[in-house]
Each structure stands twice: as structure tokens, then as C-alpha cells.
């Protein structure tokens, strides 16, 4: 039983040990394809080998040229030191790299010793209208996405560099940003620095009074062609089918919550699983752990090993877990599945956390988690999104905590982590992975019954919440929920090739669908489908031209920075774009794809068609000839 297995793991998991591991990882400046990243991988390799696991590190080119599923590999880069001073109107040290490791944006060009430049404020700096003042030779102060600001200000208008700040982060912290240039863009790279919001406000106040602001700075950095490294640890099982835990080990120093915490929890879970294996737990399915550069490493690994998805039973992603929630301001969450790619994993992952967190009893036999816990709608934010692709098709879920007031800043310190919560998350991850890996035929049936009960529970709750909402998205989503939760139960058949088990699961899934359809009829008595009013073009047929998640930089380069601006102004359109790419794996007619996407995000038919045209413009989707079907 899942609850019993999670409690067994809780007796072995050591949150203090996981915290020590997070401290060790956070010492390294872990930008993708950098010496600091490689050092962190070697640190983790030692921990996992000591735990008795088979460990292998896969290397893929990180040259700024090679593409994996349309994603350009990052360029190798290292920063050694930097300083930033204000020279006018007052002379004062702003920051050093040793004190503020995020002072230097990832991929900044080096300087030729000390340099000076005048500062100019361009607001967000992501649109043509922000550049009504000359910026050539100057440092541009901007709050918009640093990679786009740098291309607009430096590569296009000749600015010497950029000084980025965040309007959302803790005001005293320096943000983490990156430029992600291709090899062809290196010769046009400038200095890329960051500053806290408090410093940005001070600098802007000088400029608003008409005072000249002059900065003095130096950056010691270097580009090189390096390897994109993916660590894979494994405990083989009887079958060539493995349960995977994944966590991204990248991000600058300290990067404790994001994501030394997820790596540490995954390593601790692996220790527990290995220890229970030595104690006699039989692995019918194997166990794997991947530590990756976020997105880029996962995509490179899968693109280079196309048979891998068929050998994975399920995936749990650990991204930002185990923080001191009153300090960071977040909630512990499980990421749900998109209705077009149902998965049993969020249902069981949420239950595993409920068990590991429920230590105080209320009433007789009832308990509640000691921290806030939610099962959220689907979001793409990390490596689980790669597996949610219907073309990849591995049941997935993710643990994470959001928000975090120190997210992507140098204030993301190990002191913000909570060893008790790290231990609880490690226990839940280990317990779920172990239950999936060890269950025999009867155990799998028990797991299927639990999943069906959880599907009814969460599906009914979602229907009730949707019934109290208005608009096309709740209406469309209500119509899809019964079938989607039934398919989530059906996805358990991936764990066993036995036809008897498959029939058992399908029967459970049919009952779940019927039960939830009955709940929907309480709110929609006639059971009628949503009345979508589609405009012209709904019968157009499109297909994906590339596998994998939406490569945003390809959209940026293909549309041009000005045309891409609408995606910055309306984050919803980016969400539509990534959902549309996946939806076209299931429905080639644009009207059908719209219905799938509308269940996930509110979007008008006109805006949806505009996004589809953009994806065609940049070659991510292509029309299907009339009468021709694709496989």
C-alpha cells in the first residue's frame, strides 16, 4: 500500500542530511555547461555512488550551434570575477561578484579590464518604443526580459551593455538572468550585469532629476565549447522499465531552493530506495535518477536516445521543495496534468505527500498536512513538461513550492530551507517511486483502486469549482474532465504489460468516467457539449513539424523581437503556444485543437489563430495537405 510504503521511507529519510547536501550543491556557480556545473555534478555523483547506485554521466555538445528538438544548445561559459561601481553623481561600490554571485548575467561578455559608460533608463526595454533615447555606447537599465533587452539594446543598437533588475523580487536581492546567445551572436555580445531593485530605484531617481550617472565595471568571463552534462543513476529491476526521479542541478550560486533543494531531496530519496533494496525490497521495475541542466539537458538526453521514453514507467520532477515556507512565502504544490495528456502521477504524488506530511491527528483517525498543500492546474515550468508531451507520453507529475520571494536572486540561500520539510518531500518521492517499482500484480490492482478513488475525489472537486466559474474555459473544461480523469486511471497500464491488468484498469477507468459524468450532469442537466462559436479556418489541418516543447528563442528569432513583444505583454499567449504545439499531436483540425487548448487557458478564437499562424511562420507547425493523414 502506498501509505505504508511512504511511512516506511519516512523512518529512513534524513532531512538534515538532505540539507547538508543542498548546502554542498549551493557552493557551486552552476550555469549550464560551466566548470561550476560540472563540479556540482561530481559532488552529486559521489553521494550517489556512496549510496550504492550505478552512476553514469552523459555528455552532449554545448556549442551554441547544435539543436536538440529545435532547442539550441547553450554555449559554454564561465565567470571568474566582477565589480560594479557608481562613479557619478557619487562614487560608491554597488556590488562584487563574490558578494553577489548573480551580479553577472549568465553569458555576459568579458571586459577589457576596467571600463566606464554612462547609464540610460529604457523602462522595460523590450519594445521599440522604449528606445526613444540614444543608447549606443551606454549601459541600458531595464526591467524586461534580459535576453531580449540585450538583443534590442546591444546587438541591434550598439549599447555597451545592460543592467537588469526585477520589479517582482526581494528589493535587496540581485536577480538571476541569462542571455543564451548562439555561437553566431557571440561577437555582438556586450556586458550583462544586474542590480537590486533598491539600487535600480536609486539610479533611476538620479536620472529622473537630470543627473548624469556614470558606471565603472569589470567582468572576467570566458566562452568555450563545453559539454552539456546529464547525470544518470540507476538501480536495475527485473523489467527494463524504470521509475524516474528528475531534478535540475543548474542555476547560479547559491540557488538553494531553486534547485539545490530538489536535487538534495531526489538524492535522499535515492538513498532510501537503495537502502530498502539492500534490505530485501524487490524491484520489479527499475529506478533512475536524472540530474540535468533544466530543459536543455532533458531534451538533449531524450533527443539523443529516442528509445528512452518507452523504458520509463513514470516521472516525478522535484523543483523547489523543502523551503521554510513562512520565509519564502510559498505553498507546497503538486502540478496536475493537462486534460489532453492525462496522468495517474499527480493523483498518487499528491496522496504520497498527504501521508508524509500528516503527523497530527484531528478527530479520530483523521489527520491534516502540517504545511499548506495543493494539487494545482497544469503548468509547464520545469522538466516534467517535456514528458507531458503526448508524443513522449510518460506519465508525469512535479513537486514544487510557489511563490518564493527570493526566486532567481542571490537571496536564494540554504538558510531558507527547512530540513523537516526536505525530509517529508524525500519520503513522499521515495515512497511513491518504490511503490511503483515494487508492486506485484495484486499490488498494482490495489494501486489502481486507490488511483480511481483519488480521480473521483479530485475530479468531483474540480467540477464543483468549475461550476461556480463563468466563461468558455470552465464550460469546455467541465466537458473534458470526466474522460480525462478516466484516462488518468487508464495510464496505469504503462506499469504492466499483462492483459488481465489492463482490462481491470480500463474497467475502473470507465466507472470513473461515468461517475464524473454524473457529477457534471448535476450542474449541466442535459449533458450538452459546450457551444463553441468558431470563426473561419476551424477546419484547417496542421501538424507539428518538430518534436519537443516550444522552443521560445526560435519563436523570438523567427518572428523578430518587435513581433514577439505581444508574447511578453500577454503571458497567456505563450501558454497558448506551448499548449497548441502539444494539442496538435492529438487533433490536426484547428477547431479540435482549439477545444483542447481552451480547456487549459482562456483565449479567443482570433488570438488562437494568430498564435497558430506565428507557429507556422517560424516552422514549428505546418499545414497538412487535404486528404493526407499523418501518423
For residue 324, what are the CA distances in angstroms to 169, 364, 406?
Answer: 17, 29, 12
CA pair distance 399, 349, nearest whole angstrom = 8
The segments of the chain whose pLDDT lies below 50 read 630-631
Determine how β-strand 396-402 pairs with β-strand 312-319. parallel
The gap between the terminal CA atoms of the chain, to the nearest Å, is: 39
Say what the alpha-carbon torsion angle 175, 176, 179, 182 is, to the nearest 10 degrees. Answer: 180
Q: Provide the β-strand partners of residue 290.
A: 232, 246
Measured from the Cβ of residue 506, the count of other Cβ atoms closer than 10 Å reads 16
Task: Extract the runs of DSSP E, i.e. beta strands, from 501-572.
Answer: 542-544
pLDDT of 631: 45
CA pair distance 622, 248, nearest whole angstrom = 32
Q: Is the peptide bond before 394 cis (omega within 30 degrees of 0)?
A: no
Dump pLDDT digits (tens) for 239-286. 999 999 999 999 999 999 999 999 999 999 999 999 999 999 999 999
Domains and CATH numbers, the chain: 2-73+227-438 (3.40.630.10), 76-224 (3.50.30.30), 442-523 (no CATH), 542-623 (no CATH)
DSSP designation for 127:
S
* Chain centroid, CA 431 distance in Å: 23
User: Residue 103 in 3-state DSSP?
Assistant: coil
pLDDT of 475: 95
Q: Provide the β-strand partners of residue 84.
A: 95, 217
Residue 187 C-beta-side C-alpha neighbours within 13 Å: 1
Task: Extract the runs of DSSP E, i.e. beta strands, from 174-213.
Answer: 191-194
Task: Extract the runs of DSSP E, i.e. beta strands, from 359-508.
Answer: 360-362, 366-368, 373-376, 396-402
3-state secondary structure 29-59: CECCCCHHHHHHHHHHHHHHHHCCCEEEEEE
CA pair distance 294, 328, nearest whole angstrom = 22
Query: For the whole model, what pTM was predicted?
Result: 0.96
pLDDT of 360: 53
pLDDT of 366: 67
Q: Is the peptide bond before 390 cis (omega within 30 degrees of 0)?
A: no
Amino acid at each position: 500500500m502506498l501509505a505504508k510504503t511512504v511511512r516506511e521511507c519516512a523512518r529512513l529519510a534524513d532531512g538534515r542530511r538532505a540539507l547538508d547536501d543542498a548546502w554542498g550543491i549551493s557552493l557551486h556557480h552552476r550555469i549550464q555547461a560551466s566548470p561550476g556545473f560540472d563540479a556540482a555534478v561530481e559532488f552529486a555523483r559521489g553521494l550517489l555512488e556512496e549510496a550504492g547506485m550505478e552512476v553514469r554521466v552523459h555528455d552532449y555538445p554545448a556549442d551554441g550551434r547544435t539543436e536538440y528538438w529545435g532547442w539550441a544548445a547553450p554555449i559554454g561559459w564561465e565567470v571568474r570575477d566582477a565589480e560594479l561601481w557608481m562613479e557619478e553623481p557619487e562614487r560608491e561600490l554597488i556590488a562584487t561578484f563574490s558578494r553577489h554571485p548573480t551580479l553577472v548575467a549568465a553569458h555576459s561578455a568579458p571586459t577589457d579590464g576596467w571600463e566606464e559608460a554612462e547609464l540610460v533608463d529604457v523602462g522595460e526595454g523590450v519594445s521599440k518604443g522604449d528606445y526613444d533615447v540614444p543608447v549606443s555606447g551606454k549601459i541600458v537599465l531595464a526591467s524586461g526580459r534580459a535576453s531580449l533587452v540585450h538583443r534590442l539594446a546591444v546587438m541591434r543598437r550598439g549599447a555597451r551593455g545592460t543592467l537588469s533588475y526585477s520589479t517582482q523580487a526581494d528589493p535587496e536581492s540581485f536577480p538571476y538572468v541569462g542571455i543564451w546567445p548562439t555561437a553566431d551572436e557571440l561577437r555582438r555580445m556586450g556586458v550583462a550585469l544586474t542590480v537590486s531593485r533598491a539600487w535600480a530605484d536609486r539610479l533611476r531617481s538620479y536620472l529622473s532629476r537630470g543627473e548624469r550617472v556614470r558606471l565603472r565595471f569589470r567582468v572576467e568571463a570566458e566562452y568555450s565549447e563545453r559539454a552539456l552534462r546529464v547525470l544518470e543513476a540507476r538501480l536495475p529491476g527485473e523489467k527494463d522499465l524504470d521509475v524516474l526521479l528528475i531534478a535540475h542541478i543548474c542555476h547560479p550560486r547559491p540557488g538553494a531552493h531553486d534547485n539545490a533543494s530538489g536535487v538534495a531531496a531526489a538524492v535522499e530519496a535515492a538513498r532510501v530506495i537503495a537502502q530498502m533494496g539492500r534490505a530485501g525490497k524487490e524491484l520489479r521495475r527499475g529506478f533512475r535518477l536524472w540530474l540535468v541542466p533544466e530543459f536543455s539537458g532533458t531534451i538533449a538526453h531524450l533527443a539523443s536516445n529516442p528509445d528512452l521514453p518507452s523504458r520509463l514507467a513514470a516521472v516525478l520532477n522535484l523543483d523547489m521543495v523543502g523551503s521554510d515556507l513562512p520565509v519564502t512565502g510559498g505553498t507546497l504544490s503538486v502540478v496536475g496534468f493537462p486534460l489532453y495528456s492525462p496522468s495517474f502521477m499527480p493523483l498518487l504524488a499528491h496522496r504520497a505527500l498527504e501521508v508524509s506530511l500528516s503527523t497530527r491527528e484531528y478527530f479520530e483517525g483523521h489527520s491534516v498536512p502540517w504545511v499548506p498543500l495543493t494539487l494545482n492546474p497544469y503548468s509547464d515550468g520545469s522538466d516534467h513538461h517535456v514528458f507531458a508531451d503526448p508524443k513522449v507520453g510518460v506519465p508525469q507529475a512535479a513537486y514544487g513550492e510557489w511563490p518564493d520571494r527570493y526566486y532567481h536572486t542571490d537571496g536564494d540561500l540554504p538558510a531558507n530551507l527547512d530540513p523537516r520539510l526536505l525530509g517529508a518531500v524525500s519520503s513522499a518521492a521515495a515512497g511513491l517511486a518504490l511503490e511503483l517499482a515494487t508492486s506485484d500484480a495484486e499490488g498494482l490492482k490495489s494501486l489502481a483502486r486507490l488511483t480511481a478513488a483519488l480521480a473521483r475525489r479530485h475530479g468531483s472537486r474540480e467540477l464543483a469549482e468549475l461550476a461556480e466559474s463563468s466563461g468558455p474555459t470552465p464550460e469546455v473544461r467541465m466537458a473534458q474532465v470526466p474522460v480525462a480523469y478516466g484516462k488518468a486511471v487508464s495510464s496505469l497500464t504503462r506499469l504492466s504489460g499483462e492483459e488481465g491488468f489492463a482490462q481491470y484498469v480500463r474497467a475502473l477507468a470507465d466507472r470513473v468516467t461515468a461517475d464524473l459524468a454524473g457529477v457534471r450532469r448535476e450542474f449541466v442537466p442535459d449533458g450538452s457539449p459546450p457551444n463553441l462559436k468558431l470563426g473561419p479556418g476551424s477546419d484547417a489541418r496542421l501538424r507539428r513539424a518538430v518534436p519537443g516543447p516550444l522552443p521560445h528563442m526560435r519563436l523570438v528569432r523567427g518572428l523578430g523581437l518587435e513581433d514577439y513583444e505581444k508574447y511578453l505583454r500577454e503571458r497567456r499567449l505563450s501558454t497558448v503556444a506551448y499548449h497548441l504545439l502539444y494539442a496538435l499531436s492529438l487533433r490536426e483540425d484547428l477547431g479540435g485543437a482549439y477545444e483542447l487548448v481552451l480547456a487549459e487557458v482562456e483565449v479567443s478564437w482570433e488570438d488562437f489563430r494568430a498564435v497558430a499562424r506565428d507557429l507556422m511562420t517560424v516552422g514549428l507547425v505546418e499545414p497538412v495537405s487535404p486528404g493526407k493523414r499523418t501518423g
